[in-house]
Structure 1
Amino acid sequence: MFNLTLELKLKPTVAQIAVFEDWLEQSPKVYNYALKERKDWYNSRKCQINSYSKSSEYIIPADGPLPTYSSQSKALTTYRKTSPALLRVKVALLQQTSLRLEKSFVTMWEQSHGFPPLKKKGALRSFNEPQLGTTFHQGNRFKLPVIGCIKFWQARPIPQGAIVKPARAVRRFTGWYIMLTLQWDVSIPDTIPHSNPVGIDIGLTNFVATSKGRLIKRTTFFAEAERKLKLLQQRVTRKKIGSNNRKRALEKVALLHEYLANSRKDWHRKLSHQICDNAGIVFLEDLNPVGSKVAMLAQHCLDAGFGQFFNILEQTCFKRGVYFQKVDPKKTSSICPNCLKETGKRELSQRAHSCHHCAYTTDRDVAATQVVLKRGLAAVGHTACDACVQVNSLESLRSKNPHA
């Protein structure tokens, strides 16, 4: 199975936007009612049957079944016939809202979280469209149920011969977008490792360091716009809640955030293509980007967007036929790439690698990438002699150091 997701910008009319807004207004009500029903069931079983509690009394019979997605969807279909507001919304869309709540409860039990929070007005900014049909695409128009034909910006042709999975319509301050998930029932052969392997190391001082000695500085998108963002947020707090001036101020804040996200993603994509230009194999440290979000430098890590870059680099390698593999990141900064002996952990302020065993000296990040490269080559089955032939040899770097 091969999946592809296309993001296209819609051009809905005023009447179609009104229908979309009405759907997003009714969805949180269904979500909150179903959530309250489940919370009441759990609260009714907090106290013992022979005791009494004002906050946990039996508001539901003891033999009452636990509300599930199936039972709530069936009750929703029955109640929808008596509600004019819900009749305007597709039943499949409301069932997708109940399914979203079901997934939240599954995550709650698996990750030991608390109850999902209630959705405020305007909190839901997207909805799923599970029934597109086979002839939904006609030129530069989509044929959606209830909505009818809706125009979109056709920046690229939509591939033919694919199975259309449920689409997702998203409301942003720059307009309405639709995410199409296309699926092909084909088997794509895995990329075979070939020439020009490159090791990659990620950091904050140098966002990317390669085993060929290339260092790329990190761009600080959020830090550069932080002063402007602070000014816009101060303007929001000075506006009256619920006023049109406050809505316009919030829109400016959202537009700035969206601009920063798009700029960061664009830079990640261009950088990933630059890495793949002269590489046949890419090795990357198998880091946990979620763990860096709670560290001391969490804001800088979030601004760098390590997790997004990992995904984009893997996608770019797949698209361009470059072999991609993650390696163990343990002690890559404390091992000498020349003699493979541990040199001890160094302070972050020490940016040079100097081995006291073999006197090999190079940049700290470059030394880490060379360790990553050797581990990657060992993982794919290359010998040490093959590595010396296929990659830029460490001897060329050692020649710069007369004591090596």
Structure 2
Amino acid sequence: MFHLTYEFKLKPTQSQIAIFEDWLEQCRRVYNYALCERKDWIKSRSCRINACSLHSEYIIPADTPRPTYFNQSEKLTQAKKKYPELRKVSAQVLQQTLKRLEKAFVALWEQKHGFPRFKKPEKMRSFVFPQIGVNSIQKGKILLPKIGWVKFHQSREIPDSGRIKQAQIVKRASGWYILLIVQWDVDVPQPIPHGEAVGIDVGLTSFIATSNGLTVKRPRFFVDAERKLKLLQQRVSRKRLGSNNWHKAIKKVAKLHEYVANCRKDWHFKLSHQICNGVGMVFVEDLNLVGLSRSILGKHCLDAAWGQFFNILEQTCFKRGVYFQKVDSHKTSQICPSCGTDTGKKELSERTHVCSNCGYTSDRDVAAAQVVLQRGLAAVGHTVKMLVEGKFVGIPKMQESLNL
């Protein structure tokens, strides 16, 4: 199976926007009620039998099963008889909301994510149609269940060979968007190691440094917009909470955040295509991005968005047939790429790598990228082959040691 996501901007009417807003609110209420039910069940099992809380305690019968997606879906069917506003929303859309909560708890247990939180008003920004009818897309229009035909800006054609599996309606500061997941019943082979290889080291001074000597300065998207953001947030704080002017000011802040995110994402895409030009293998560091985001330089790490860049780079490599792999990031800036000697920890102010053993001198980030390249080639078993072909750029001492 092969999937691609097509994103288009919707052009709904005012009545359709009102339906979207109402559906988001109903999905938010279902999500919060289901989360409250799960939270109460967990708290009722958290105390000891002989030591109840002095303040209050959740009392739920011992034979009550743990709330799951399946039994909450059954209760949702019963709730529709009591609350008629739920009947206006597609049943599958509400079920997908419960499935979204189930995925949040699975991520809590398996991936160590945080405990799911309640959604405040206007914080639910998307809902999903898990099925779309056959021939539901015409030129610039899409047929949504219980809503009807909705116009959208079709910036590119959707191949007839693919099958639309899912549609997601997303609300953003700049308008409403639809994400269509298209499926092809084919097996696409993964790229295999071939051609010239490049190692990449990321940082805050230089966003990337490659093993062949290319360094790209980090653009400060969020930092450059902070002054304007501060001004807009001050205007929000001076408005009466909940008023029309307050909502307008909030929308301006959201638009600025979206603009910054779009600029960053566009730059990441362009840089990833530049990296893939003329190479067959790309190796990057497997960083602890969560730990970096919580450090003293966390704001700048989040502004750089290395995680998003790695995801985009991996997608670009797959699309262009380039092999992509993450390697161990331990001590990449401390090991000499020429002789393999551990040169010790460097201060952030030291921007040049100088090896006391072999005398190899290079830019600190470029040397780290060369270590990443070595580890990547060792992982795929192509180190000697690349050295023989003379494509191991910037490491003359190692080539001399092998008499190449």
User: Which amino acid is 1:172 matched to?
Assistant: R
Q: Does 1:253 align with 2:260?
A: no
- Cα distance in 2 for residues equivalent to 1:114 and 1:338: 43
Q: CA deviation at 1:7?
A: 1.3
Q: CA deviation at 1:46?
A: 4.4
Partner of residue 401, structure 2? none
Are 1:46 and 1:56, in contact at CA under 8 Å, matched by a contact in 2?
Answer: no
Q: CA deviation at 1:235?
A: 0.8
Q: Does 1:357 align with 2:338?
A: no
Q: CA deviation at 1:11?
A: 0.8
- Cα distance in 1 for residues equivalent to 2:49 and 2:383: 69
Q: CA deviation at 1:190?
A: 2.4
User: Which amino acid is 1:264 matched to?
Assistant: R
Q: 1:84 to 1:369 in 2, by over 3 A?
A: same
SS in 1 for 2:17: helix
Partner of residue 165, structure 1? 165
SS in 2 for 1:394: coil
SS in 2 for 1:166: strand
> What TM-score comes out, normalization by structure 1 length?
0.92
Partner of residue 401, structure 1? none
Higher alpha-carbon deviation: 40-49 or 118-127: 40-49
Q: 1:26 to 1:378 in 2, by over 3 A?
A: same
Higher alpha-carbon deviation: 217-226 or 356-365: 356-365
> What TM-score comes out, normalization by structure 2 length?
0.92
Q: Does 1:226 align with 2:226?
A: yes
SS in 2 for 1:120: coil
Partner of residue 156, structure 1? 156
- Cα distance in 2 for residues equivalent to 1:375 and 1:10: 46
Partner of residue 402, structure 2? none
Cα distance per residue 1:96-120 (max 9 Å; x no partner): 2222222233333445667532221
Q: CA deviation at 1:314?
A: 0.8
Q: CA deviation at 1:377?
A: 1.9
- Unmatched 5+ residue regions in structure 1? 399-404
Cα distance per residue 1:332-351 (max 9 Å; x no partner): 21111111222222111111
Are 2:338 and 2:397, in contact at CA under 8 Å, matched by a contact in 1?
Answer: no
Q: CA deviation at 1:60?
A: 3.0
What aligned pairs does 1:102-181 form with structure 2 within 5 A after superposition?
102-110=102-110, 115-181=115-181
Are 1:7 and 1:177, in contact at CA under 8 Å, matched by a contact in 2?
Answer: yes
Higher alpha-carbon deviation: 242-251 or 190-199: 190-199
- Unmatched 5+ residue regions in structure 2? 399-404
SS in 1 for 2:82: coil
Higher alpha-carbon deviation: 99-108 or 245-254: 99-108
Higher alpha-carbon deviation: 275-284 or 58-67: 58-67
Cα distance per residue 1:62-91 (max 9 Å; x no partner): 333333222221121122123221121122
Q: 1:366 to 1:84 in 2, by over 3 A?
A: same
Partner of residue 78, structure 1? 78
* Count of residues in correspondence between the two structures: 398
User: Which amino acid is 1:166 matched to?
Assistant: Q
Are 1:196 and 1:390, in contact at CA under 8 Å, matched by a contact in 2?
Answer: no
User: Which amino acid is 1:214 matched to?
Assistant: L
- Cα distance in 1 for residues equivalent to 2:83 and 2:210: 61
Are 1:2 and 1:188, in contact at CA under 8 Å, matched by a contact in 2?
Answer: yes
Are 2:162 and 2:184, in contact at CA under 8 Å, matched by a contact in 1?
Answer: yes
- Cα distance in 2 for residues equivalent to 1:185 and 1:281: 27
Are 1:343 and 1:356, in contact at CA under 8 Å, matched by a contact in 2?
Answer: yes
Q: Does 1:372 align with 2:372?
A: yes
Q: Does 1:35 align with 2:35?
A: yes
What aligned pairs does 1:169-318 form with structure 2 within 5 A after superposition?
169-318=169-318
Please provide the CA RMSD for this pair: 2.2
Are 1:232 and 1:252, in contact at CA under 8 Å, matched by a contact in 2?
Answer: yes
Cα distance per residue 1:210-257 (max 9 Å; x no partner): 111111100000010101101111111111011000000000000000
- Cα distance in 1 for residues equivalent to 2:6 and 2:279: 27
Q: 1:229 to 1:151 in 2, by over 3 A?
A: same
Q: CA deviation at 1:383?
A: 4.1
Q: CA deviation at 1:173?
A: 1.4
Are 1:24 and 1:127, in contact at CA under 8 Å, matched by a contact in 2?
Answer: yes
User: Which amino acid is 1:78 matched to?
Assistant: Q
Counting aligned pairs with the same residue, the percent is: 61
- Cα distance in 2 for residues equivalent to 1:221 and 1:45: 47
User: Which amino acid is 1:335 matched to?
Assistant: I
Q: CA deviation at 1:50?
A: 6.4
Q: CA deviation at 1:323?
A: 1.7
SS in 1 for 2:289: coil
Q: 1:67 to 1:244 in 2, by over 3 A?
A: same
Partner of residue 3, structure 2? 3
Q: 1:371 to 1:47 in 2, by over 3 A?
A: closer
Partner of residue 25, structure 1? 25
Q: 1:395 to 1:208 in 2, by over 3 A?
A: closer
Q: 1:280 to 1:240 in 2, by over 3 A?
A: same
Are 1:377 and 1:387, in contact at CA under 8 Å, matched by a contact in 2?
Answer: no
Cα distance per residue 1:140-199 (max 9 Å; x no partner): 211111111111111111122223222211001111111111222211222232222111
Q: CA deviation at 1:139?
A: 1.8
- Cα distance in 1 for residues equivalent to 2:387 and 2:148: 59
Partner of residue 64, structure 1? 64
Cα distance per residue 1:294-349 (max 9 Å; x no partner): 11110000000100000111111111111222222222211111112222221111
SS in 2 for 1:66: coil
